[in-house]
Structure formats: C-alpha cells, structure tokens
Amino acid sequence: MTQTFLSQIRRIAHVASVVSFVNLATAEMPPCMSSDDAADGGLRDTTLLAANNTPSGSIEEASHPLLAAVDNGDLESLRKLLNQGADFEVKNARAETPLMIAAKQGRADMVRMLIRMGSDVDVRNDHGSALTIAVEKGDLDVANLLLASEADVDARDSQRRTPLMTAAHLGNPEMATLLMEKGAEIEASDVNGWTALRYAAKDGRAGIADAILARTRNLKASRVRGALAEALAAKHDEVVKVFRAHGLELIAKKADAPKTPRLAKNEKPGSAPKGSAKAAANKQLSNTVALKKED
C-alpha cells in the first residue's frame, strides 16, 4: 500500500512538471525577443529572471545577471533581461547601478538602452553620478547622452565636487566647455571652498581657465585670488598670462583699503584672506597685493 501511494505521488509530480514546462514553452515572448531568441536561450534567460527580480541592494556583479551582463559588455543579454522586466536600478557592492557601470565601461549603446528603459540618470554614490564617471573617462558621447536626458550637470560627489571641477582638474577643455554650455555652475565650490577655476589654475589648465573667465565677469574676488595664488605657487606661467589677459592683475594697495566682496569695474578688492595661499604664492603676493579686473 505504501509503494502504491508513493507511485501515485511520483506520477502526480511528473504530470505537474510536464504541464509547467509546456506553459513555459508556449508563453508569449517579450516584445523585443525574436523567435531566434526564444530558440537560442529564451527559456534559460527566463530562469535567470527569477534571480534578477530580487529586491535592489548592494551585491556583487557575478551574483546578478543584469549587473554581470553590463560588466561583461554583453549587449544582447542586457536587452533580453530588460525586456523580461529586470530591475535596472539594482546596485553592486560599490553602490553603482547598471547605468553607472555602462558609463564606466564607455558603452554608449548600453547607456542609451538603459536610459530608454527608464534608468535614473541622477542616481549617485560617494563618487558621484554616471555623468561624473563619463567626465572622468573623458567620454563625450556618454556625457552627451546623459545630459540630453536631463542629467544634473552639477551632480555632487561626497566632497561636493561637480563634474566641471573634475573636468578642470583632469584638463579636458572639450568636456569643460560642454558642461558650461549645459549650464554648469561656474562658481560652485567643494567642501574646501575650491572652484573649477582654482582646480584649473592649480593643475596648469590654461585653456580651461580661459574658458571659465570668458564666461563670467563677476567672480568673487577671494576665489579669483585663491586661483591665481595656486597658479603662482605652481609656477604655471601660462595660466597667470590668462588671468592677465582677462584684466586680472597684481596691483599695490593701501593697507587700510576697504574690502570689496566681488570684482567689478574700477573696484579694488580687499587683501587676501590670511593663510589662504600657499607659502610661495604669499611671498609673491605679500600683504600689499590685490586683484583688479579691468575692461
């Protein structure tokens, strides 16, 4: 009797497995999956989808099919998984989304696909956003895709650095120009009070310093002074020439001259804040130096 009962249980289990297989095989294919896709791996990818629909969290790429597809540059697997409803906002252990990984890989095609599916272009981790990554990589194609999708041009990292500051630091004039054309805040400052102009001056990026100064005539005197001090300290003569070409010069002033918060026509800002410049720059600026911007 026991054997008969077990045989019936096995028969029921077998029938259930066959029905399940038939239902799976005859299910309607996703809109972007061709018949070849189904024959070549549709069932296998459907199995992967079960794992792919786990709640978003910090996991390793290898343990998540969609993250693995992007990390490996597998466009076809990415397309199939997205068509099957994969979670495209899942994050790896570094809090990177598939979009951020695609930007890091320089895969404009994957970035475009993920944006089309609705990926959040402004998700960020301590390092910044997908735009920050594109700027670091010097990838104008990916940066343009993100900006065309209304990515935040001033997305901050954990140190409040903006993409423009990164472009200035790395010396990419094309990227810096693109960001400024898209409305990047030129006077934005990080946790240390540094602006894109100061990064450009410190690292000898004369072209970027020129582009920044050409786009504004009302920079804060203290920030211009700090940027010029960096250029002088590092002996970046070409950058100093750029400042002078824009009418910013070192002039003598009286010790009791009133402080002026901004540079403007025929105004003489106050002395540099104590301890704001490096030793070499202080030696050149001394206690009687101010900045003046002339038309």
Residue 284, pLDDT above cutoff 60: no
* Per-residue pLDDT tens over the stretch 59-112: 555 568 889 999 898 999 999 999 888 888 999 988 999 999 999 999 999 999
pLDDT of residue 139: 97
- How is residue 234 annotated by DSSP? T
- CA-to-CA distance for 218 and 225, rounded, in angstroms? 13
Which amino acid would we find at residue 30? P
86 near 97, Cβ under 8 Å?
A: no
Q: Mean pLDDT across the chain, nearest whole number?
A: 74
Look up the CATH number of domain 45-117.
Answer: 1.25.40.20
For 162-171, 219-228, 284-293, which range has the lowest pLDDT when averaged over its residues?
A: 284-293
- CA-to-CA distance for 215 and 138, rounded, in angstroms? 22
Segment 131-153 mean pLDDT = 97
Contacts with 34 (C-beta within 8 Å, 6 or more apart), sequence order:
none
What radius of gyration do the chain's Cα atoms show? 29
Cα-based distances in Å from 1 to 7, 9, 11, 12: 10, 13, 15, 17
pLDDT of residue 162: 98
Look up the CATH number of domain 164-295.
Answer: 1.25.40.20
Highest mean pLDDT among 204-218, 244-258, 259-273: 204-218
For residue 91, the SS3 value is: strand
β-pair type (91-92, 124-125): unpaired
* Per-residue pLDDT tens over the stretch 26-53: 344 344 443 344 333 332 333 333 333 3
pLDDT of residue 55: 38
The encoded tokens of residue 125 equal 């981790």
290 near 227, Cβ under 8 Å?
A: no
The Cα angle at residue 150 between residues 146 and 156, in degrees rounded to 5? 75
Same fold, 45-117 and 164-295: yes
pLDDT of residue 38: 38
Q: Where along the chain do its domains lie? A: 45-117, 164-295
pLDDT of residue 191: 96
pTM: 0.67
Burial letters 95-130, b for 16+ CB under 10 A, else e = ebbbbbbbbbbbbbebbbbbbebebbbebbbebbbb
Long-range contacts of 231-235 (CB under 8 A, 24+ apart): 231/201, 231/202, 231/204, 232/280, 232/281, 232/284, 232/285, 233/277, 233/278, 233/279, 233/280, 233/281, 234/201, 234/202, 234/203, 234/204
pLDDT of residue 195: 96
